[in-house]
Amino acid sequence: MAGYKPVAIQVYPVLGEKITQDTLYWNNYKPPYNYAVTASSRIHIYGRYSQEPIKTFSRFKDTAYCATFRQDGRLLVAGSEDGGIQLFDISGRAPLRQFEGHTKAVHTVDFTADKYHVVSGADDYTVKLWDIPNSKEILTFKEHSDYVRCGCASKLNPDLFVTGSYDHTVKMFDARTNQSVISVEHGQPVESVLLFPSGGLLVSAGGRYVKVWDMLKGGQLLVSLKNHHKTVTCLCLSSSGQRLLSGSLDRKVKVYSTSSYKVVHSFDYAASILSLALAHEDEAIVVGMTNGILSVKHRKSEPKKDSLARRRRPAYRTFIKGKNYMKQQDDILINRPSKKHLELYDRDLKNFRISKALDRVLEPSCAIKTPEITVSIIKELNRRGVLANALAGRDEKEISHVLNFLIRNLPQPRFAPVLINAAEIIIDIYLPVIGQSPVVDKKFLLLQGLVEKEIDYQRELLETLGMMDMLFATMTRKESTSLLQHNTSDGFLENKKVES
């Protein structure tokens, strides 16, 4: 036992990038909390760090498609697939108001600036304005010729609101004129629209394009951005208004500077992105994906600096030789060897407590902040041949910790070779008992999907490497053939055969 060597924590390098102030700012987000969500007739509200919803509204007849808070955070309005719109008070569960008028799915709802009206757009091509106190429809606009899939209300003028449609147009309506006052052609089915707080600039997203329009000049196009490889589905603005974020089906979130409209940062995610939002003061970035995962990244709090620096006490030799003592030529300096203490997981491994060692590195303080330690312990257990024993015999809570870690880190290429093996072992062990816990079943299915997708990526990568090897071999053969050819005295080319 005295010769035990601590586990070597492998360093997983990350590809370098140009370090800017934006890089430092946007990289200051902690690893995400992942929530498993599905399209349903419920709306869940999560706390800042809670893994389970703190509030659920379930008074919908069909799937809820959209929901928006009022500026004061006290009311919530939501639209559903059956065309119904319901207004909730956060302190209660039953709806305060119900608005019936749309005949098809409602995809966008928002509060106006005066907080007493709601704007909605639906697949029946209509845009409606509702009065909250009376629960009545005030106006109906029928200017779109296709599904109305996005919209937003002005934060300054209670009579202005914008909608985007699959008819490729973005329209600004004025409740005082009963018609649209500005209409612009985006050129692609519009998936998301965004008004700047001042109301002077409008951003539309659809296809691969993000376009910025000057509304004070009647909808003049300022800039057209094409930085995504697939359809842009959502837009978001930072709290300062200096950064614009866009999410796409290419699994990336791009951050633009609103002064130059250049990409200053980019986030990568495990699946295509459907929705995107920033919390107050950019405290968290929330992304919803097609694989049923809701990713929440919190920004790290800046450490507090001590106002007074600690005074360093004089060393022991100062009291013996004096403060101004200078080392002499004949003096011999003897350093006392420092004793190295084993980490807690190393102590458990030393005493063959393999399950406890794995539990220690799966705690959030280790698994979220330093996932490389957890991956190194899993690799060490697999090398010893006891990984299956450490993963077996776990209850619902313990297996949830393991599944959360795998779902969070399996898509990362630097961890994938180790975690795919661990995921396959878990699937083999717990597949016969699936169906006893809804929470574990949902995460288990997500893990299976991630493993299958990662294996497909590896297969495609091997095929690509094989094609590249063939191309390189062909190029090498041509170069060697050209070197063996030379001109004869008669002016004809002669190929010399080289015997092996």
Task: Confirm if 314 and 323 have CB atoms less than 8 A apart.
Answer: yes
Q: 32-226 falls under which CATH superfamily?
A: YVTN repeat-like/Quinoprotein amine dehydrogenase (2.130.10.10)
Residue 242 has, within 13 A of its CA and on its CB side, a CA count of: 5
Long-range contacts of 175-180 (CB under 8 A, 24+ apart): 175/129, 175/138, 175/139, 178/139, 178/141, 179/141, 179/143, 180/141, 180/143
Whether 431 and 423 have beta carbons less than 8 Å apart is answered as no
Nearest to 350 by CA among 316, 380, 312: 380
Q: Which residue has the tokens 């009579």?
A: 159
Written as one letter, the residue type at 63 is T
Rounded distance between C-alpha atoms, residue 475 and residue 497, angstroms: 19
pLDDT tens string for the chain (500 positions)? Answer: 457 888 888 776 665 556 788 888 888 887 777 766 656 677 777 776 666 677 777 767 778 888 888 888 788 888 888 888 888 888 777 788 888 889 999 999 999 999 889 999 999 999 999 999 888 999 999 999 999 999 999 988 999 999 999 999 999 999 988 889 999 999 999 999 999 988 889 999 999 999 999 998 989 999 999 999 999 999 999 988 899 999 999 999 999 999 999 999 999 998 899 999 998 888 889 999 988 888 888 887 766 555 555 555 555 555 555 556 666 777 776 666 667 788 899 999 989 899 999 999 999 888 888 889 999 999 999 999 999 999 998 888 888 888 889 888 888 888 888 888 898 898 888 888 888 888 888 888 888 888 888 888 888 888 898 888 888 888 877 766 665 555 444 444 444 443 43
pTM, two decimals, is: 0.62
Structure tokens at 178: 């009963």
Nearest CA to 345 among 313, 372, 377?
A: 377
Q: Say if residues 192 and 233 touch (Cβ distance below 8 Å).
A: yes
